[in-house]
Structure 1
Amino acid sequence: MQAEILKAIQTISNPFLDYFFIILTMLGSSGFYFIFIPIFYWCIDKRLGLKLGLILIASIYINTVIKEVTKISRPIGYPGIRSIFTQSAGGYSFPSGHAQGSATFWGTLMVHYNKKWLWYLGSLVVILVSFSRMYLGVHWPIDIAGGILIAFLIVVLGELIYSILRENPLKFPLYLKILLSIVVPVIFVCIFPHKDIYEHMGLIAGVLTGYFVDKEKFDFTTHGTFSKQVTKFLIGVAVFFALKEGLKFIMPYENAFNFLRYSLCGVWLSLGAPYTFFLLKLNDKKIA
């Protein structure tokens, strides 16, 4: 039945739609989030940027665990199903990482702002990204449904935890916050030591460490003129990707070093970049 659904969807296939849905499916990729979330953290709302990043990485962690446990094969190679842009389809099939990621990201934004136009936009993006995965022949319909359902539960739980922490902020000394920022991600790595988990947990460790140091010592602001915001974004993202790729030439490409590499990238996102913006006078309001 699922194969027949995919075959029915692919009856509309043509070169234009191929390119159209390849572009759309990229809106559910990790590269999109690596570019988009820093905009919130550096230029719009630091706490929202942090919340988006943490909830999304938690979603990726859960998605990876479920995929490795269920080990369901993708429709790639199934008779009668055409699969294209398969480089976007790593690992197992259930649940869809693109559908789950986009529903997590846009769901968090929709709940946070609660604006009608954003609900329409977010819902449309999630539907189109999810449909693109079936059109491209890289996911079964059950993968899409499962990913969206899991994302819904993650968003609800994430908002609940966020509201609790907002009303009862951690009152630990800085050294203990930093220790927890490192130890907790390491524990999650030990629970499920998948290669992708090392990278994502390393990123969380670095981001949280930088966030707590900044909060205690500098507490940077996101205010700035449009031109300054664009400059902040270009500098911040350029250095992030330079670190992410450049450190590969310095450190062995092994799990423990990948954790460290992404940790350093995370520290740049939440501490190095904001302090650089301050030194370059790219924030209208000085750091306290």
Structure 2
Amino acid sequence: MQAAIIKDIQLLSNPILDYFFICITMMGSSLFYFLALPLFYWCIDKRFGLKLGLVLLSSIYVNTVIKNVTMVQRPIGYPGIRSIFTQSAGGYSFPSGHAQGTTTFWGTMMFKYNKKITKILGVAAIILVSLSRLYLGVHWPVDIVGGILIALLVIIVAELVDSIIIEGKYDIKLIYKIILSLIVPLGLIILFPYNENFEYMALASGTMIGYFIDQHYFKFTVNNTVKGQIAKLIIGISIFAVILSTLKYLLPYTEIFNAFRYFIGGLWISIGAPLLFNKLKLNKKTL
């Protein structure tokens, strides 16, 4: 039945749709999020940028664990199924990381921005990215459904936790926040020590620590002109890419060193880049 659904969708295959769905599927990739998250953190809403990043990283963690536990094989190589752009299909099949990530991202956006346009864009993105994974022949239909349902559960838990944090009257010292930001991701890595979990939990840890330090000492603001915001993104993302690639070249390629690399990347996003923006006067509000 699942193979038949994919084959029916692929009856529409043609070169134009191939390129179209390859572009669409990139909207559910980590590259898209590495561009979108700094946009929110540096230019729109710092706290929501942090929240969006942590929810996504939590969703990726859950996705990685379930994939490695279930070990469902992809439809790649299945008789009669045409699989293209397979470089976007690493690891196991269930649940779909693209469908789950897209649902997590846009679902969180819809909670934050309860507007018609956000809902239209979000639903369209979820449907198109999910459909692209079937059209490209890299996921089974159950992978898509599973990814969407798991994302919804992650979003609900995240919103409940966030509401408790907002409503609670907590006065936690900076040192304890830093310790928690180290211990919780480390505990999650130890619990399920898969390669992706080393990277993304370390990224979450570095980002949280930088955020708490900034909130305590610097209170970076996002205000600027459109030109200034574009400058922030170009400078910040370029240096982020340089940090990851340089450390990858200098350090041994092991899980521990990969975690260190992403930890430094997280610190750059939440404290390094904002301090540089302050130095370059890119955080001034234009009157």
Cross-structure match for 2:11: 11
Q: Which runs of 4+ in 1 moved over 6 A?
A: none
Give distance in 2, aligned partners of 1:190 and 1:169.
31
Map of 1:246-265 to 2, 5 A cutoff? Answer: 246-265=246-265
Cross-structure match for 2:54: 54
8 Å CA contact 2:211–2:270 kept in 1: the answer is: yes
Cross-structure match for 1:164: 164
2:65 corresponds to 1:65: yes
**Cα separation, partners in 2 of 1:94 and 1:169, compared to 1, 3 Å:** farther
**Cα offset, 1:169, TM superposition:** 5.5
**Cα offset, 1:161, TM superposition:** 0.6
Classify the secondary structure of the residue corresponding to 2:219: coil
**Cα offset, 1:249, TM superposition:** 1.6
Classify the secondary structure of the residue corresponding to 2:95: coil
**Cα offset, 1:163, TM superposition:** 1.1
8 Å CA contact 2:40–2:49 kept in 1: the answer is: yes
Give distance in 1, aligned partners of 2:283 and 2:215.
16
Cross-structure match for 2:130: 130
Map of 1:176-195 to 2, 5 A cutoff? Answer: 176-195=176-195
Cross-structure match for 1:150: 150
Letter paired with 1:259: A
Give distance in 1, aligned partners of 2:209 and 2:102.
26
Cα-Cα RMSD = 1.0
Give distance in 1, aligned partners of 2:170 and 2:33.
27
**Cα offset, 1:179, TM superposition:** 1.1
Give distance in 2, aligned partners of 1:219 and 1:165.
19
Give distance in 2, aligned partners of 1:169 and 1:109.
25
Give distance in 1, aligned partners of 2:127 and 2:178.
39
Give distance in 1, aligned partners of 2:116 and 2:169.
30
**Cα offset, 1:170, TM superposition:** 4.1
2:29 corresponds to 1:23: no
Give distance in 2, aligned partners of 1:93 and 1:213.
39
Give distance in 2, aligned partners of 1:112 and 1:120.
14
**Cα offset, 1:173, TM superposition:** 1.2
Show CA shifts across 1:32-70 (max 9, x none). 000111000000000110010000000000000000000
**Cα offset, 1:264, TM superposition:** 0.3
8 Å CA contact 2:225–2:285 kept in 1: the answer is: no
Cross-structure match for 2:45: 45
TM value normalised by structure 1:
0.98
Which deviates further from its counterpart, 61-70 or 164-173?
164-173
**Cα offset, 1:153, TM superposition:** 0.9
**Cα offset, 1:111, TM superposition:** 1.0
Show CA shifts across 1:193-229 (max 9, x none). 0011000011011000100000000010000001000
Give distance in 2, aligned partners of 1:194 and 1:136.
26
Cross-structure match for 1:280: 280
Letter paired with 1:116: K
Classify the secondary structure of the residue corresponding to 2:27: helix
Give distance in 2, aligned partners of 1:109 and 1:38.
15
Q: Unaligned regions of 5+ residues in structure 1, if any?
A: none
Letter paired with 1:15: P
Letter paired with 2:32: F
Cross-structure match for 1:111: 111
Which deviates further from its counterpart, 171-180 or 92-101?
171-180
Give distance in 1, aligned partners of 2:280 and 2:57.
30
**Cα separation, partners in 2 of 1:185 and 1:119, compared to 1, 3 Å:** same
Which deviates further from its counterpart, 73-82 or 250-259?
250-259
Show CA shifts across 1:116-146 (max 9, x none). 1110111001100000000000000000000
Q: How many corresponding residue pairs?
A: 286
Letter paired with 1:52: L
Give distance in 2, aligned partners of 1:249 and 1:18.
34
Letter paired with 2:197: I
